[in-house]
Amino acid sequence: MMAELTSKAWIDEHLTDLSEWQQDAFRQFASMIADPAGSYPCIPGRHGFLTNNLRFGFTSDPRDEQAITEVSQLLRQYGESARETGKYASLVIFFKTPEELLRSYDIEDYEDLFWSVLSRVSAKDDTPWPEGISTDTSHHTWEFCYDGQPYFAFCGTPAHTVRKSRFSPYFLIAFQPRFVFEDINDTTPFGRNIKKLIRQKLSEYDGVPAHPSLKWYGQADNQEWKQYFLRDDESAPSTCPYTFMKNKFKDLSLRFHK
């Protein structure tokens, strides 16, 4: 069965058609991003949710190959329609998160899982990398791409306790299309103002300073991959796990086919 994109408007009308865990995942996400006090720090994300710009998908246990197929299907569908969904577009994917993961996984386990998902999804993509976006993760223009579309990937986990902005009761990956940031960057007054406001709200929401890895796409010292998964402390991997894991899966595939 193919994974299907849904919208907030559709879910609001058909919530009881979803399974129990899917209903719970959506309700908790909605209460977080659209809290009445407006404290959630990602202003574009909150606005996108309230104006039905976001799209949602529900997938299997992230360790399973079925989930990778489902994420690939959702990204392919989404890439074809993202620009039609609105200026503040994002694809939010909730993964079924078994009790076993909730009990035994810490932040580093979820970090490995996140990069494993991206790497395995990439292995299913046969579309050429978009022009103008480096394939070198250490370059400031690198961005995760699927089916020719560049995305900022954001991971939320049940293990985050300090950075509440990265907490999610279900393992979650949100994919923001690159076009969302066309006006939200350091080159425009609007971008600089919203950056300042988001950083302020982020510090208030988390109760700790923003992670030092947070920078703007395109800055010479920016490494986009470091922002995809933020740990509760201020540390970050020294090398990009995506490169390592992508090569590892490529090696495994070559050995398998020999």
CB 76 within 8 A of CB 147: yes
Asked whether residue 100 is domain-assigned, the answer is yes
Angstrom distance (rounded) from CA 164 to CA 198:
14
The reported pLDDT for the residue numbered 258 is 37
Angstrom distance (rounded) from CA 72 to CA 55:
15
The reported pLDDT for the residue numbered 249 is 57
**Low pLDDT (below 70) residues in the chain:** 185-187, 216-220, 244-245, 248-258
Asked whether residue 50 is domain-assigned, the answer is yes
The reported pLDDT for the residue numbered 6 is 97
The reported pLDDT for the residue numbered 212 is 84
Domain count for the chain, please give it. Answer: 1
CB 117 within 8 A of CB 72: no
Asked whether residue 170 is domain-assigned, the answer is yes
The reported pLDDT for the residue numbered 245 is 67
Asked whether residue 1 is domain-assigned, the answer is no
Asked whether residue 125 is domain-assigned, the answer is yes
Give Cα 46 to chain centroid, integer Å: 15
Q: How many residues does the chain have?
A: 258
The reported pLDDT for the residue numbered 195 is 80
Asked whether residue 95 is domain-assigned, the answer is yes
Angstrom distance (rounded) from CA 144 to CA 228:
10
The reported pLDDT for the residue numbered 148 is 95
Asked whether residue 47 is domain-assigned, the answer is yes
The reported pLDDT for the residue numbered 190 is 75
The reported pLDDT for the residue numbered 56 is 98
CB 91 within 8 A of CB 153: no
Domain range enclosing 234? 6-257
The reported pLDDT for the residue numbered 87 is 92
Q: What is the pLDDT of residues 153-200, one digit of tens each?
A: 999 999 999 999 999 999 999 999 999 887 776 667 777 788 888 889
The reported pLDDT for the residue numbered 223 is 83
Going by DSSP bridges, is the β-strand pair 144-146/172-177 parallel, antiparallel, or unpaired?
unpaired
CB 197 within 8 A of CB 43: yes
Asked whether residue 61 is domain-assigned, the answer is yes
- Residue 60 region by backbone torsions, left for phi larger than 0, else alpha for psi between -120 and 50, else beta: beta
